């Protein structure tokens, strides 16, 4: 987990670890995730998945049940025992109720039975990615901007700023990746859940409104537009 006050990630894409022993399926999943704007990494054994996930560098783990060296539920349970809270989506051909119970008892966050729809997989990854983003940093301080994810409160220089739910989600995503460019694709995937058209100007409208609430009243110029790339929250509000 990221500690209080930590800002900025290495990429604006949600990082997904794919632990799947079927090399061809792993390749399909990583290509699908990459095309959807995620940053996927694939490994093919239970011990390798455990090692990678323990590093805490991923936002979502796609974990196959049947893996060489260590099965998926054991990997998941071991991760939880080590204090790794990264959301885990367990992938399996086992669809019986007792199998689902066993998977959830291993402290997986979600369960998807093979064969599955790729659209459903992406929807579940989006949901788990949002959960990871919101839980990763309860409180963020970016210059004089203070964002409390749990209370959904924002202050600038100690003064409370009232935001709509969607405005808060946009600002939270910017704050979590302060200093990094957040693409329009990422906003649509993480804030709008892919429910609106990429050609829409809804993001531009919300960013403009945010500037009118957290920047201009305080003489700040913190939210930058990078044409063709996206938006960035500067590490200082100057």
Tens of pLDDT along 19-29? 999 999 999 99
Lowest average pLDDT, out of 50-54, 107-111, 159-163, 165-169, goes to: 107-111
Contact assessment for residue 133 and residue 166, using Cβ atoms and an 8 Å cutoff: no
Tell the CATH superfamily of the 15-135 domain. Response regulator (3.40.50.2300)
Lowest average pLDDT, out of 33-47, 92-106, 108-122, goes to: 92-106
Whole-number Cα distances in Å, 131 to 109, 135, 140, 149, 190 = 10, 6, 16, 11, 10
| pLDDT greater than 80 at residue 5 | no
Tens of pLDDT along 39-98? 899 999 999 999 999 887 788 999 999 999 999 999 998 998 887 888 999 998 875 666
- Cβ of 235: how many Cβ atoms within 10 Å? 14
Predicted confidence at residue 7, as pLDDT, reads 37
Sorted by where each begins, the domain ranges of the chain are 15-135, 138-233
CATH of domain 138-233: 1.10.10.10
| pLDDT greater than 50 at residue 1 | no
CATH topology of 15-135 equal to that of 138-233?
Answer: no
For 151, the token pair is: 């209370």
Contact assessment for residue 156 and residue 214, using Cβ atoms and an 8 Å cutoff: yes
* Enclosing H/E stretch for 223: strand 223-226
Q: Are strands 223-226 and 230-233 parallel, antiparallel or unpaired?
A: antiparallel
Average pLDDT, the chain: 84
* Phi, psi at 8, each rounded to 5°: 90, 130
| pLDDT greater than 60 at residue 11 | no
- Site of tokens 């936002």: 59
């Amino acid at each position: 987990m990221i500690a209080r006050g930590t800002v900025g990630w290495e990429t604006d894409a949600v990082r997904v670890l794919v632990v799947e022993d079927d090399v061809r399926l792993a390749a399909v999943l990583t290509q699908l995730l990459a095309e959807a704007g995620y940053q996927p990494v694939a490994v093919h054994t239970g011990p390798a998945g455990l090692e990678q996930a323990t590093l805490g560098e991923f936002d979502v783990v796609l974990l196959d049940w049947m893996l060489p060296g260590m099965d998926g539920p054991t990997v998941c349970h071991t991760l939880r025992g080590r204090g790794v809270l990264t959301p885990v989506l367990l992938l399996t051909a086992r669809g019986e109720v007792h199998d689902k119970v066993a998977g959830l008892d291993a402290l997986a966050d979600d369960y998807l039975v093979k064969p599955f729809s790729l659209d459903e997989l992406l929807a579940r990854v989006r949901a788990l990615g949002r959960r990871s983003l919101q839980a990763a940093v309860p409180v963020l301080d970016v210059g004089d901007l203070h964002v409390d994810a749990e209370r959904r409160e924002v202050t600038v220089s100690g003064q409370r700023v009232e935001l709509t739910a969607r405005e808060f989600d946009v600002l939270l995503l910017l704050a979590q990746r302060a200093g990094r460019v957040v693409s329009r694709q990422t906003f649509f995937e993480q804030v709008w859940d892919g429910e609106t058209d990429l050609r829409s100007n809804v993001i531009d409208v919300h960013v403009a409104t945010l500037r009118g609430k957290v920047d201009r009243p305080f003489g700040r110029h913190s939210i930058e537009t990078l044409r063709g790339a996206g938006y960035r929250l500067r590490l200082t509000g100057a």
